[in-house]
């Protein structure tokens, strides 16, 4: 342990010496206003990074001479082991490993410094990020993209509360000819007040987010036109809302309007939304649960929709064509019936998972709640093909038990091991075995 500590101390001292020396050298420049350095690697014990702020009164020629001198210094004092970044007004640029590389970096940095459309610029050896007004993002990208080893990201400025936005065009590591029509579509989308996020990789993707569900259909239609264009066959397209994950749009993506119209016309449907390619439908009246689920199941739906979850406050089922829907509905109805006799704060929740798990969550657990769960699972018949999980958080009874498909017993995966919990699990297993015919 003493040897390891000594080695670590040597490494730290060596890195510190390099960083301190580089910072000391940089601070002697007449155009440097302030300096700092930090350790970025090996748990902050090595890879010193030196930063210097250049006086805004400095001339471009003075900045270039400092960049050249810094390159020579780093080449003779640690090379790639020490990093150096210089900040000049709105521009930050990294010192390269050779004079040619540093010259290229400074050329770009000084160009953006003089460009009124650029509000902030980060010019590094491996990437470039430029910020500007929404209306200038595409122009900045078009004019500054193309550096061989430094992919460009052009990004719109945020407001006073949020300095960063998700209105972005990024070059990425995959290169292709920039499509002027595609950039023109970006310009159209970015000015749409309903668009809250826009991310374009001209060779790879277009992600559009809108403020709420009411704007999804119109945006899907617009994006689908691009997805249907053979010129963009290698790209991925998606549309999302602020609260939902993007879902894919392809050349044959049908509109969701017909399905949403069905929801609007179906009595008892209280809400619907799309998240992660899954449609979520809320039901207001459990008496209409079966009719709503079967109506939705019979309707055609877009291929990119991987499933539909229909739920009431205390029960939900999924629709994905796996053949279990009728049994799910029967289980849900059994829980609706048993919950009808329980107080509001004593009800048992039920959720059928598309992974083949039936989940139950009693608010307050007693032996009757356990019996009602078992009866519902057995009546639905899914206990033979799905696992059943019961989670209870009701002091002094706290446990999670799971019965595998067709299993004779529940296995506890979590328990506070109180006498009440031990007794509850034992009684639950006894009733389960009796009802499934294994007892």
**pLDDT tens figures, 186-198:** 999 999 999 999 9
Cβ within 8 Å of residue 33, ≥6 positions away: 53, 54, 55
Low-confidence ranges of the chain (pLDDT < 50): 1-13, 43-44
How high is the pLDDT of residue 163? Answer: 52
Query: Quick one: angle between helices 99-113 and 60-76, nearest 10?
Result: 150
Each residue's pLDDT tens digit, 78-92 = 666 789 999 999 999
Helix (H, G, I), strand (E, B) or coil at 268: coil
Helix (H, G, I), strand (E, B) or coil at 41: strand
Calculate the average pLDDT of the chain: 87
Q: Which residue has the tokens 């590389």?
A: 101
Burial readout 13-27 (b: 16 or more C-beta within 10 A, e: otherwise): eebeebbebbbebbe
Instruction: Identify which of 382, 371, 327, 321 has the alpha carbon closest to the alpha carbon of residue 348.
Output: 371
How high is the pLDDT of residue 125? Answer: 94
How high is the pLDDT of residue 225? Answer: 86
How high is the pLDDT of residue 5? Answer: 40
How high is the pLDDT of residue 40? Answer: 67
How high is the pLDDT of residue 9? Answer: 41
How high is the pLDDT of residue 55? Answer: 96
Give how far Cα 78 sits from Cα of 18, 22, 72, 81, Å. Answer: 7, 9, 11, 5
How high is the pLDDT of residue 277? Answer: 75
């Amino acid at each position: 342990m003493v040897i390891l500590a000594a080695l670590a101390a040597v490494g730290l001292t060596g890195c510190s010496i390099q960083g301190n020396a580089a910072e000391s050298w940089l601070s002697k420049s007449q155009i440097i206003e302030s300096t700092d350095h930090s350790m970025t690697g090996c748990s902050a014990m090595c890879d010193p990074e030196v930063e210097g702020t250049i006086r805004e009164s400095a001339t471009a020629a003075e900045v270039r001479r400092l960049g050249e001198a810094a390159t020579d210094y780093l080449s003779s004092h640690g090379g790639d082991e020490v990093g150096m970044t210089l900040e000049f007004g709105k521009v930050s640029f990294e010192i390269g490993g050779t004079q040619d590389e540093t010259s290229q970096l400074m050329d770009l940095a000084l160009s953006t410094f003089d460009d009124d459309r650029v509000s902030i610029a980060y010019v590094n050896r491996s990437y470039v990020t430029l910020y500007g007004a929404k209306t200038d993002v595409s122009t900045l990208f078009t004019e500054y993209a193309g550096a061989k080893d430094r992919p460009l990201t052009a990004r719109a400025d945020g407001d006073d509360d949020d300095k960063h936005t998700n209105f972005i065009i990024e070059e990425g590591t995959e290169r292709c000819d920039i499509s002027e029509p595609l950039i023109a579509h970006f310009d159209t989308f970015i000015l749409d007040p309903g668009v809250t996020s826009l991310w374009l990789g001209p060779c790879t993707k277009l992600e559009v987010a809108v403020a709420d569900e009411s704007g999804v259909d119109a945006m899907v239609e617009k994006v689908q036109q691009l997805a249907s264009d053979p010129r963009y066959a290698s790209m991925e397209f998606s549309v999302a809302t602020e609260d939902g994950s993007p879902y894919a749009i392809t050349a044959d993506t049908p509109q969701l309007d017909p399905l949403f119209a069905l929801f609007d016309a179906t009595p008892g449907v209280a809400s619907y939304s799309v998240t992660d390619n899954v449609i979520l439908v809320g039901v207001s009246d459990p008496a209409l649960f079966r009719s709503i689920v079967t109506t939705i199941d019979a309707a055609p739906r877009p291929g990119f929709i991987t499933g539909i979850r229909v739920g009431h406050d205390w029960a939900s089922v999924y629709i994905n064509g796996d053949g279990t829907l009728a049994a799910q509905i029967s289980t849900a109805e059994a829980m609706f019936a048993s919950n009808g006799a329980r107080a509001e704060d004593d009800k048992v929740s039920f959720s059928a998972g598309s992974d083949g798990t039936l989940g139950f969550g009693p608010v307050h657990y007693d032996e009757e709640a356990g019996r009602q769960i078992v009866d519902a699972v057995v009546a639905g018949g899914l206990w033979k093909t799905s696992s059943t999980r019961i989670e209870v958080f009701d002091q002094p009874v706290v446990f999670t038990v799971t019965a595998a498909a067709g299993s004779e017993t529940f296995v506890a995966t979590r328990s506070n091991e109180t006498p009440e919990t031990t007794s509850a699990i034992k009684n639950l297993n006894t009733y389960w075995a009796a009802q499934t015919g294994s007892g």
